[in-house]
Amino acid sequence: MFFVEILILLRSHFYQLFRLDKGFIWLKRIFALAIAAILLWIDIELGIESVPAIQEFGLFRFLSESNWNPVTNVYSVLPQVYGTLVSDFIDLLVAKKYTLFPLISTSIIKS
């Protein structure tokens, strides 16, 4: 009799945990969709706000020339994009060095 009561208590406890897990999974899904919606909203806003610049200077000229002169109203983002890509590449090299070597050393020590 005592064993049956324990099983009933455990079953109700596991059912409550299962319900909490399902609730947590749905909460994660809601937050993931909210993040995706926010990122989509940011992309739409950037696209809408950039239309006047693209109409004024043209997309190809804006992305390919290297002039930035506010006095003559000539703008281009090639130097900024190039600088961003170079700094990102350097960051990847540095991060690779600091994450790959500890991984190798711990795998050597472990085996």
The mean pLDDT of 48-60, rounded to a whole number, is: 84
Upper half-sphere CA count for residue 63 (Cβ side, 13 Å): 5
pLDDT tens digits along 63-77: 777 777 778 877 778
The mean pLDDT of 23-47, rounded to a whole number, is: 94
The pLDDT score that the predictor gives to residue 59 is: 79
For residue 17, pLDDT beyond 70: no
The mean pLDDT of 65-93, rounded to a whole number, is: 84
The pLDDT score that the predictor gives to residue 61 is: 78
Q: Is the pTM of this model over 0.75?
A: no
Cα–Cα distance, 36 to 24 (Å, whole number):
18
The 3-state secondary structure of the chain, one letter per residue: CHHHHHHHHHHHHHHHHHHHHHHHHHHHHHHHHHHHHHHHHHHHHHHHHHHHHHHHHCHHHHHHCCCCECCCCECCCHHHHHHHHHHHHHHHHHHHHHHHHHHHHHHHHHC
The pLDDT score that the predictor gives to residue 43 is: 96
For residue 11, pLDDT beyond 80: no
